[in-house]
Structures are given as structure tokens and as C-alpha cells.
Amino acid sequence: MTKLLDHINLPNHVAMIMDGNGRWASARGLTRKIGHIQGSKNFDKIVKHAEKIGIKHLTLYAFSTENWKRSEQEITVLMKLFENKLKRSLLDTKNSNLKIKIIGKKSDLPNNVFELSKKLEEISKNNAGMRLNIAINYGSRQEIIMVTKKIAQKVLENEIEIKDISENTFCKNLYTQDQPDVDLLIRTGGEFRISNFLLWQISYAEIFFTKTFWPDFSPNDFDEAIEEYKKRNRRFGGNMVSSF
């Protein structure tokens, strides 16, 4: 059993690609719906654990812009799970200090999910606890295009000059505009790819891949990823050597 030895050198911002619900269900002869329900339960468990050990920012990839290609039946199941989770989160706001933000193109979500997400953000905006970002209908390329358009519009309206555009300008227009870059990216489910997730924000993140499917990913597994992160020597590209 993995146990955190201490809370020194914790990553400030952890992001997670929660993958493997369908394969977890298939391996057990269950429907994908059951896999998503189990994954939703695990979401709550990992959020509580991350908050407990002192993580300041947690971003979870719940639904990508590409996920609309899934079957209508599966999308309906997922949207209902999002609706129920947002409703429960609203009920729990009196007992929670989480500051919650839904990142992604919310306007394309079903109206009930869209309205609930706005209410949850408003009610929790003054909370001082862990920042929890839930990525729903999120795609990093879409986010980068959105930011580019925002900055271009500001140039057209003479709010800024082209020469003054910097990385900081870009960061201020991201969904995560007031939060630090990701320190640690965790992907469950055994796949080794980024899947269009936080491409700007993970530029210098450490990456931890695990074969464990999301429904089985436990607090101990989370701690194992944190321990691995703490062993790494982060150089932020400073020691890159070209072969040319």
C-alpha cells in the first residue's frame, strides 16, 4: 500500500485524464453505462483525497469536444451523470470549500447542464479551498483558437498593440486564466497520449501514465503518482540538448 511520506514538494496543480470506464465495464461483462456510473463515483473519491492531502488545483477531463462522436445513447448517459453531479455539488456547497469552475465550451452543452454549471461557479466563487476545474466539452485546440480570437479582437479595438502580446497575455485569456500551469498530468487506462488536453498548460508538466482503469484508480494510486512526481528533477526544458 502506497502512503505519502509527507506533504513536502506536492505538485501545485494536478490534471487528470480519467480514461478506461468502458474497458473496465467490458472486462466485467457490464454495460458502458455501468462503467461511467462507477467512474463518476470514483471522481468524488479522488477529489476528496486530493483536497485532503493539500493539492491546491485539480483539473479533471470529463468530456472532450471529440466525445460528441460517441453514440447518442452514451452521450445521453454522460450528460445525465453530469447533471446529477452538478445538482449534488450545489446541494453540498454549504459543506464544501471547493472553488469549482467548468472549463470548455459550455454554450454547446444541454441547457440544464449549462445552467447548473453557471450556478455552481457562482455559488462557489468565493470559496478558499482547492480549485477544482471540470473539463466538459473541452478541447485544447478549440481553447487556443478562442484565445487567439480574443486577443485579435483586442488588437482590432486598440486595447493592446501587437508588440505587447506575450505569453502572459495568452495565459490571461485561457479558461485557467488565474491559475498556475499544470505540474503533474496523470492519465489512467493504459493509453500513452495527451488527447487534446491542456496543451498550453502542460508545457512543462511531468506525466504519469498508469494501466489502471479510472473506476479502479484509488487514493493510493494517486499517492503513488505524487511520490513519483516528487522523485523527478524538473528542468523546465533548461537542459534540452539539440542533436543538430
Q: What is the set of active-site residues?
A: 19, 67
Q: Which of 46, 116, 60, 59 is nearest to 86 (CA)?
A: 116
Return left, alpha or beta for 54; rule: phi > 0 is left, psi -120 to 50 is alpha, else beta. Answer: left
DSSP string, 74-98: HHHHHHHHHHHHHHHHHHTGGG---
Q: Looking at the DSSP assignment, which residues form a beta bridge with residue 17? A: 61, 187
Q: Which of 197, 229, 212 is nearest to 53 (CA)?
A: 229
Largest Cα–Cα distance of the chain, in whole Å? 60
Identity at 62, one-letter amino acid code: A
Q: Within 13 Å and on the Cβ side, how many CA atoms surround 9?
A: 12
Beta pairing, strands 206-209 & 131-138: unpaired
